[in-house]
Structure 1
């Protein structure tokens, strides 16, 4: 034991080893500083959020007591389902699809990817007021609009392919027009609380084109809690229709899905943009694999879930079909995201504390995987070689 101790002491007394240890410590200081600053910011924000949540709970309790005589379980709040998702919501979707509600902001090209059986394009725009809007256009080869429509509505199957969906429940359904009120809880990374959604959804049918409208709705029977955090501003809607295959075989054997999505998750825009940009393609690939699994399941099993059955109850309407106007926008109007990010980086008013917080989170993630130690040792060794 004594011999081992003497060897260890002798090793530490070597100038090269001591110098490398100092290098490692100097490299680690900025990371731990970022971690500590991030923890302080997180603690401060959590304190304010707890105060806001307490005030919100008091307001909810007052509202609930005032509405107790009128709404016991939420069902009388949306009697008949006619006021959950309305024609105005459909009109809002159509206006966005026709690019008639863009205002002074333009759609920016975000991504374009192609696989053997799918084509995907995405855009985003940032209104002066409200959350960032996203629009995507996906073409699935060898798919029918009816199957894609069922897939979007089938929450029972979604639990099998969407790792973010932790829980869902049908709160209410209205068979006369197909309207549903759904409760979701989605899992978020460890540094964010989970998110809760209560939304209404309904499908309109024009010819063989389906307009699937989903939006957040109030539901007094299910009061808000501190956790999971409820997302109240939520709009996620699709147009689904048959199109000619990109393979140019002259057949309408493909299905086009144009999505318009925006929500206020309570996350700063700059942080949300980075997360969406880096996670979008992975989410799209999971979506694609989930749809193909659903396609195989439906080929062998004709049993429909309750959600898929309700997807077949549509409201007939007449809407003039149009192409995706984003594909025809001039290149100077649709700036690339990289150009936009560079321009925003030098604008005043950028909240740098969230950059530090993001760095702290990244540091924690890397520390958990053991990669920081390797990176620091490699850096120290390289500087040692340079000194030689």
Structure 2
């Protein structure tokens, strides 16, 4: 009875406290009650020294967790070192088996995977040496020698004329088109071609713009799958161009990576465009395209009177290695038929360009062309390229 009376009195007191306290007092009361229950549970489990025991237990747990984390870190580092060592051994083993070819294939694979990413392109472009690959004024000056001395070659009536140590063989002789060829010094199975022609119904500027305007080039040359500028050296005006061209089935497509530079000389009334193959890290070799590694082209244009009036003569000297073996019959066909067909397409495209410029069309490079037109070529009448 006494215990029940005590509990009843305690209950009455608690009810009185709850009714008389405000909301804040209730929260404090509940909090104190919870703290007392927690202290009571801790004292019941660990005894009177429960606070000291909990601190020691917490410190012990922290120490053990720290030791476990350090062991885990050392184990991960050990495994990583082992994996790197194993990978190095594997690469060294395959390198001994296959030489540097394997390393090149792996590098090209990585380049093909990341070459479309803008950040990688910027980093790759920094690896390209413009000092070694830019086209200098001396190269363009050598190009114009062909125009200076072309009449000397045109007046030759023999089928073969001696030009230095290599004979030029005349393969086409028409009123407005003459084509010569000679074997290359570094590959006698390939030929270097020299084309001399005239157009009476096209202006020199339209003919020049047709050669330089790459966006227009993709429209008139149906064999060009893609052609674009991938890098440029602002100081010299040298550009890096990537050109992908279709080849007859079942041969693979061919692509060219080359540097080019053009120049307009108002004083001497000459225009020149020079191109030559180069290696650039932004455009690695692809598996489904054959890379042409030997290509060189030098075009010189001279108007009859003015750049914007009809009438011009031009000299084109070029060679390329299509990375395939053609019979001699095919080379003869390309020289006698392929070159005139290409010149005809170029003539029609130049007339289209002339009509566009008459309507106000200006290529994207037109402003830069005018800025560079004050420069002149250094002509030496006693030299011949």
TM-score by length of 2: 0.58
Q: What per-residue deviation string (whole Å, max 9, x for no partner) do you get for residues 243-266 of structure 1?
A: 369xxxxxx852111111111111
- 2:257 is the counterpart of 1:198: yes
C-alpha contact 1:241 1:256 (8 A) present in aligned 2: yes
Let me know the Cα RMSD of the aligned residues: 3.8
Q: Which residue of 1 is the match for residue 104 of structure 2? A: 59
Q: Could you tell me how far 1:170 is from its partner in structure 2?
A: 1.5
C-alpha contact 2:108 2:285 (8 A) present in aligned 1: no
Q: Which residue of 1 is the match for residue 277 of structure 2? A: 216
Q: Which residue of 1 is the match for residue 292 of structure 2? A: 231
- 2:178 is the counterpart of 1:121: yes
C-alpha contact 1:156 1:307 (8 A) present in aligned 2: no
Q: Which residue of 2 is the match for residue 86 of structure 1? A: 136
C-alpha contact 1:200 1:215 (8 A) present in aligned 2: yes
- 2:134 is the counterpart of 1:75: no
- State the alpha-carbon separation in 2 of the partners of residues 82 and 307 from structure 1: 24
- Worse-matched range after superposition: 160-169 or 307-316: 307-316
| Paired residues for 1:362-377 under 5 Å | none
Distance 1:205 1:160, change over 3 A: closer
Aligned pair count reads 260
Q: Could you tell me how far 1:73 is from its partner in structure 2?
A: 4.1
Q: Which has the higher contact order (CA 8 A, sep 6+)?
A: 1
| Paired residues for 1:135-214 under 5 Å | 135-206=194-265, 207=267, 208-214=269-275
- State the alpha-carbon separation in 2 of the partners of residues 222 and 94 from structure 1: 31
Of 307, 312, 321, the match for 1:264: 321
Q: Could you tell me how far 1:142 is from its partner in structure 2?
A: 4.0
Of 251, 254, 274, the match for 2:333: 274
Q: Could you tell me how far 1:313 is from its partner in structure 2?
A: 5.1
Distance 1:138 1:259, change over 3 A: same
SS of residue in 1 equivalent to 2:284: coil
Q: Could you tell me how far 1:95 is from its partner in structure 2?
A: 5.8
SS of residue in 1 equivalent to 2:354: helix
C-alpha contact 1:150 1:311 (8 A) present in aligned 2: no
Give 1 or 2 for the bigger CA radius of gyration.
2
C-alpha contact 2:206 2:350 (8 A) present in aligned 1: no
- Worse-matched range after superposition: 231-240 or 87-96: 87-96
Q: What per-residue deviation string (whole Å, max 9, x for no partner) do you get for residues 63-101 of structure 1?
A: 8989x9x98544324466784222453355356665899
- 2:160 is the counterpart of 1:109: no
Which 5+ residue runs of structure 1 have no aligned equivalent? 1-53, 246-251, 327-388
